[in-house]
Amino acid sequence: MDNVLKDLYIRAKTTENERLALDRQSKLLKVEEDNLKAQVLEELHKLGLDHVDYGDLGSARIERKVKPYIADFTALEGYIVEHRATDLLQKRLTESAVKLRWDDGIVIPGIGVSEEEKLQLR
C-alpha cells in the first residue's frame, strides 16, 4: 500500500474519531444546557417575570415569537392552488418519500437526479 495514502487514511480516521468524540460530548452538553434553560424559564414563569438582569454576569429574557403551523392542510392546499401561492412552501424534496416511490416503480415528473460521492472510513 502506498505510504502517502496510508498516512492520509490514518490522519483522516483519527480526526474523524476525535470529531465524533467531541460531537458526543457536545450533544450531552446541549441536553444539559436545554434542561437548565427550561428550568430558568419555569422559574421566570413562577415569578411572573419576563426577564432578569444580573449586571455584568448577564441577563435572561423570555422572547416570544409567533410561528405558523398547518392546522388544516386541505384548506391550505386549496388556498395555495387558488392563489398560486407557492411562495408559502419550501422548495425541497423529501428524499425518503421520493425513494419509496421510485422503489415502487413510480415516475415523478419534474424530478432530476444528481449523484454525490462520500468517502467512508471504517
Q: Is 90 exceeded by the pLDDT of residue 44?
A: yes
Beta strands in the chain (DSSP E): 51-53, 59-61
From CA 110, how far away is CA 121, in angstroms rounded?
A: 35
Q: Is 81 part of a structural domain of the chain?
A: no
Q: pLDDT tens across 55-106, in order? A: 999 999 999 999 999 999 999 999 999 999 999 998 889 999 999 999 999 9
80-88's contacts with Cβ under 8 Å and 24+ in sequence apart are none
Strands 51-53 and 59-61: antiparallel
pTM of the model: 0.67
Q: Is 73 part of a structural domain of the chain?
A: no
Q: Is 98 part of a structural domain of the chain?
A: no
Q: What percent of the chain has pLDDT over 90?
A: 89
Q: Is 18 part of a structural domain of the chain?
A: yes
Q: Is 80 exceeded by the pLDDT of residue 1?
A: no
> What's the number of domains the chain is made of?
1
Report CA 102 to chain centroid distance, whole Å.
Answer: 25
Q: Is 121 part of a structural domain of the chain?
A: no
Full residue range of the structural domain in which residue 52 is found: 3-61
